Amino acid sequence: MMEGFNGFVKDPNYEALDIPGRRRSRVYAAQFLFATILLMSANLRALATFLTKEPTTQISTKTRTSRRSNRDT
């Protein structure tokens, strides 16, 4: 699971977290902030993909019929 997400955030067409030249700054706090924003963007992109994906399985909506009791009344 984690390795898949690492590849997801390193995608050069989107966040490209593994390319340091895209977020140049000398200050560590700024580097941390840029990386945090990129990870947030990747999470939102993954969430949007999940929500727009069509479900592959159908959920059965059968209703249960009540059974007649075998008790003698």
DSSP state, residue 63: P
Residue written as tokens 């840029």? 34
Residues 6+ apart with CB under 8 A from 46: 5, 8
pLDDT value at position 37?
A: 87
> How far is 32 from 37, CA to CA, in rounded Å?
9
**Sign of the CA dihedral with 41 first, then 43, 45, and 51 last:** negative
Query: Tens digits of per-residue pLDDT, 3-58?
Result: 677 777 777 787 777 777 777 778 888 888 888 888 898 889 889 988 898 777 76
Q: Structure pTM?
A: 0.59
As given in the structure block, the two tokens for residue 65 are: 């019929």
Q: What is the mean pLDDT of residues 60-70?
A: 69
pLDDT value at position 3?
A: 67
| Side-chain half-sphere CA neighbours of 32 within 13 A | 3
